[in-house]
Each structure stands twice: as structure tokens, then as C-alpha cells.
Amino acid sequence: MRTQFYAAELMLEHNPFIGRLNEDVDGVRELQMSRTPFSFLYRVTETHVEIIRVWNQRRDRTALKL
């Protein structure tokens, strides 16, 4: 799983807008990590990508607080 996290981080570094927009919070995007139940919730600023949370998608979405 560590390899998948690292691959997702590299993907965001080179393609910060690859994740889909989060419907609940403005400016937050979500990138699903392949072959895992996890996703990165992040926002893109002028200078960097800020990962806000690593979310286990098996959990209830209504419990997600950003």
C-alpha cells in the first residue's frame, strides 16, 4: 500500500488537477488510489498540492469532516 500512496503522490505532483472535484466542499479534489479502498482529498494552491486527508472509502461518507 505504501507503493500505491507514493505513486498517487507522484501523480498529483505532475498532474494536480487529475482528481475529481468533491461535491461537498468547494476547491477540494479527490484522487482514488488504484487497487486500494483509499483516496486522497486535497486542494491545489498556487504553489503546492495540500493533501487534507487520506480517506478510507469503506467508511460512511457522512462521517467525513474536512
- 50: domain CATH number is 3.30.2310.20
Domain tally, the chain: 1
Which position has the higher pLDDT, 27 or 62?
27
**pTM of the full structure:** 0.82
Q: Does 66 map to a domain?
A: no
Q: Residue 34 has what pLDDT?
A: 81
- The grid coordinates of residue 54 equal 487520506
> How does the average pLDDT of the chain come out, rounded?
88
Buried b (16+ CB within 10 A) or exposed e, 44-53: eeeeebeeee
Which residue segment(s) compose the domain that 17 sits in?
A: 2-60
Q: 18: which 3 cell numbers?
A: 487529475
